[in-house]
Structures are given as C-alpha cells and as structure tokens.
Chains A and B, each alone.
Chain A
C-alpha cells in the first residue's frame, strides 16, 4: 500500500510541473503586452518599463520560465499588482471562506443525494424514482447563478427569511477566530453563551450552500441510484433475500456498502470542483472567498494574481483527486491488490 501511495505521489510531480508550465505560457504568450494590459492605456513608457522589469518581462522567455518555476517551488506566487500584497497571503486569508462553503455544499449534496438515490433505486419506476431522476436532470441543466438569484428572490426578498449575501450580520461586530464562521459561532456560543453569531453564520450559509450544492446533489443522486440498482442485482443480495434477511438489512447493511464505492469517488471529485466552481456563487452572494477574489482580479487585470489563484486552485484540485483515488483503493481492496 505504501509503495502504491509513493508511486502515485511521484507521478504527481510531472502533472504539477505541467500545470505550472501551462499557466506560465498561457499568460506569457497571451496576445498583447501584459504590462500595457495591466496598467491601461494611460501608462507612460517609464511606468511600463518599470513594471516589465518588476515582472521580469524584459528577460528572455526561457529565463522567465526558469525563474518562475524556481519561485513556485519556494512557494512564492508573487505580489498582487492592485494591493501590493503577497498573493499567497491573500489566498490563505480567503481560503477558509471557500472551504467552509465547499464543505457545507458537499455535505448537503451527499446526504440528500444518497437518500434520494437509494430511495429511487429501491422503488424503481415509482413516482419517487421518476421525480428524483427528472429533478436531477433539471438540476444539472440549470445555470447556477440563475438558481442563486431565484433563491434570493424567494427566500430573501419574498419571505424575508435569509440574508442576500455576506457571511455574518455586520451589526454583530464579529471578530473571526478561526475564519470558519460556523465554528467561530460555536466557540462564541460556548464562550459567551450567545448563540447570535452561530445563527447568523448559519443563516448566511444556507442559500449559497443550496445554490452551490445543487449540481453535485443531482450527480450524486444519479450515481447512487445506478450503482444501487447494479448491486441489488447481484447474487449475494438475492441469496440474502432468499435466506429471509429483512429487506431493510439487505439494503442498508449489505447493498449500500458496496453501492457507495463509486459514490465516494464522485463526492470527492465534486468537492474538488466546488472549490473552483464557487466563482459564480461567491460573486452573487458576496461570499469573500477565493472565487470572488479571482473574479475581481480578472476585472482589475491583475495577471499575477489571476495566475497565482489558478495555480493554487489547480494544485488543490489535483491533490484532492489523488486523495480520492487513494481513498477509493483503500475502501475497495480489489484495486489495491491489483
């Protein structure tokens, strides 16, 4: 097993190097002079020259590339042009917001998706099955940003139940502790006996969670259903039923455990997607995470920031996918032993 993990880790290196290379050349070979694009039309020759040497653009491409790689290896993503802050610091500040939302969305999608998928498979061709399948197809056909706006329209404006954006009511003058607001809310609850922070954090995260979690929910429900149908056909399920094992036990003890194998992979991949797919959701709900930050960096033509943000998320994505793969082989011995 250890050898297997090590092998996969070594294989990670060329992929990550490829990602860095692609990101570098995408920006380096982009049409137009990046310095001119970043500073706008009003910049004078002196300013342009200064920015060029700051970014190393006056060097030959091969040297720029090597410099870039050596910087990345040291964990240096450069500085943002707009804020002059280190990009890695800006990203780390915003990472908790993005991760918190991705986790709540994944939990929401997984629990509901598995319940719906199992129910649909157990009652195949019933109205539950048809509506789950139709619903999941509608779910993947819907623009996320539109769903977000419709949710705001109904729950924030129509019924005035939930806030339209942000992470916490500003009137609470909240000082973050861990930057994961739900956890902070619980800490404050224990510390001060005041549940306001937790409730406010919870209210703020509900709509973004539903908006972000809908597509994964649809995919997880579909995967669970088809995997469950596959497993319920197996001989050991038939044997268990023939032996008089109660149906509930057959489904939840025997069938579900095996049916969930592919579902775990799908959940992991979806989690990786959510970290990046949150650009639209975060922008609409004014959620101060990485997605919104990348969106604003694009608007400000802050290329080093965009470059850094993309590398950061892609690294995350690659590593999560690897973890998912490894996890799959841990829970499915057939792959590990091959």
Chain B
C-alpha cells in the first residue's frame, strides 16, 4: 500500500499527467477499486433512469388519482405506493432523478467555469492578481457553506434555478483553490516554458497547455461536488428555497409529506433513500478517483 502510494507520487512528478498512458492506467486502477466501481454503477443507473425517465416511469409524475391517495407500496400496482395527492411515488422518484442530475450538472458547471477562470488567473499571473482573487476566495470561505447558499437564494428569490446558482457560487472557492494549486505546480514545468519560448500567448498557454494538466484533481472535486450539490439543493428545497411544487424534486417531496410521517412512512422515507443512494454513488466514485488521480489530496 505505502509502496504503491510512493510509486504514484514519483510517477506524478516524473511524467506530466496528461500523457495518454496516465488515463489508461488510471482507468485500469479504477476498475480494480470495488468501491469506486460500485459508485460508478449507481451513477450509471441513476443517469440512465434520469435520461429515459419518460420510458422508465410507469405513470405521469404529476397525475393525481384522488381515489388512490396514500396507497401503501406494492398494492394496486403502485410499486412504491402513492403520495398524499395520489401521485405514483416511483414515477416521481424517477423524474426527481432527472431534476437532481440537472442540478448536479448545472451547479457544478457554474462553479467549474468560474472557479477555473479565477484559479487559473490567480495561479498563472501570480502577484497582485493572485492576491486580490485569493482575498475574495478567503472571504467567501469565511462564510459557512450552507449559510452562504441560503443567503444567496434568499436574496435572489426562491426557485430551482436560483438554488443552482447559489450552490454553484458557494462551491466555487474549492475549484479555484484546486486549480490555482495545480497551475502553480505546472507553470514552471519544461513543457510550459518550451511553449512560451515559441511565442504562444497567455490565453493559449493557460487554457490549451496548462488546463489539461489540472484535470485530474478537478475531476475528483467535481465528482464529490455533484453529490454535495444534490444534497444542498434537497436541503434548500426542503426549506422552501429551491424547487417549488408540484416539481418532483426529492427534497421538496420530503418537505411536502413531512406531516404524514405518522400515517404514510413511505412518502417521507423513499425520496430520502433515493438521495442517499445517489449521493453515496458520487462519494464512492469521488473517493476512488482521489486515491487514483490525486494521492496528495488523500485524507
């Protein structure tokens, strides 16, 4: 184990990670990591269900059958039962996956783009640019993460889009830091200096030459980030600050059924399980990727 770790570190230092062999080797290591593969399978199922939700869901997630309110699981053809308005829970959970997938992609997309630009500029230019950007990042990190998202949504107004923006902004500092750190490590490498001596301009050096080599640690952060974005948005929706009814968002489904915990356990429990399994999938894969791609980040 420790030997393996040292080898990884040595390899990372000797070979620029963007060499084609690096990704092939990483994929091979990933397939041998059982936990990470389990995470990958969960994510694959989640993504497939999300994309093909109309085909996978037995019913319309918004269709109310008042006569079948709060039907227990496995009765009358409702596999996971129905909610307080007689909507099919399984279909709502499947469509909820679609919303969670969008939340994950959009919020991580926002933090990735802003974080990359800021982190790249800070790491590449250094000096006062670095000082100003890092000062802002430090101030953002002075706010507890959950509080920051809640405040941003409170100001922008409650909606799913604003929740995604808020999560994206609140997660941004981590990406900026990760990318800045790897840019500083790459900036003085021979291949960059060689490119520079050929007269390549700054923008091209930053985004064509250096950026691909910051991919590995960013990928780890982004995988874990999707899981956290799904959790945060569920929390925001639970507080009424995210998705609005009748959207089948998982957190909102729990919130709007919480008064039925005495009578219909499944309406509260099952959407939560869906969140748990999905986020667990991203965390398993993220942890595995971290072990493989970024030994320095290991906790």
Taking a contact as CB atoms under 8 Å apart, the answer to whether B147 and A313 are in contact is: yes
Contact A314 B143 (CB under 8 A): yes
Q: Which residues of A contact B2 (CB under 8 A)?
A: 233
Beyond contacts A142-B276, A142-B279, A145-B251: 13 other A-B pairs, Cβ-Cβ < 8 A, are A22-B140, A23-B151, A26-B155, A137-B287, A146-B268, A146-B272, A152-B261, A233-B2, A276-B144, A279-B239, A283-B239, A314-B144, A318-B142
| Interface contact A141-B144, CB-CB below 8 Å | no
Interchain CB contact under 8 A, A145 and B254: yes
A211 within 8 A of B: no
Contact A313 B144 (CB under 8 A): yes
Given contacts A149-B254, A149-B258, contact A317 B156 (CB under 8 A): no
Residue from the list A22, A145, A314 in contact with B235, Cβ < 8 A:
A145
Chain B 142-175, CB-CB to A under 8 Å as 1, else 0, gives: 1111110011101111000000000000000000
With A143-B272, A146-B275 as given contacts, are A137 and B238 in contact (CB-CB < 8 Å)? no
Q: Please report the C-alpha to C-alpha distance between residue A157 and residue B269 in the assembled complex, in whole angstroms.
A: 14
Which size class do A's interface residues fall under? Answer: 35 or more
Instruction: Assess the A27–B272 pair: CB atoms within 8 A.
Output: no
CB distance from A161 to the nearest CB of B (A): 15
Q: Does A251 contact B (CB under 8 A)?
A: no
Interface string of B257-299 (1 = CB under 8 A from A): 0100110010011011001100110011001000000000011
**In the assembled complex, A153 has its CB within 8 A of some CB on chain B:** yes
Given contacts A137-B287, A283-B239, contact A272 B144 (CB under 8 A): yes
Residues of B with C-beta under 8 A to A313: 144, 147
Q: Which residue of B lies closest to A18 (CB)?
A: B139
Main secondary structure of the interface of A (DSSP, over half): helix
Query: For A19, what are the chain B residues with a Cβ–Cβ distance below 8 Å?
Result: 139, 142-143
B-side contacts of A101, CB under 8 Å: none
Check: A57 CB closer than 8 A to any chain B CB: no
A24 close to chain B: CB less than 8 A: no
Across the interface, A143 reaches (CB within 8 A) one of B139, B157, B254, namely B254
Are B150 and A153 in touch, CB under 8 angstroms?
A: no
Interface residues of A in 140-174 (CB under 8 A from B): 140-147, 149-150, 152-153, 157
B254, A299: Cβ atoms closer than 8 Å: no
Across the interface, which residues of B come within 8 angstroms of A14, CB to CB? Answer: 135
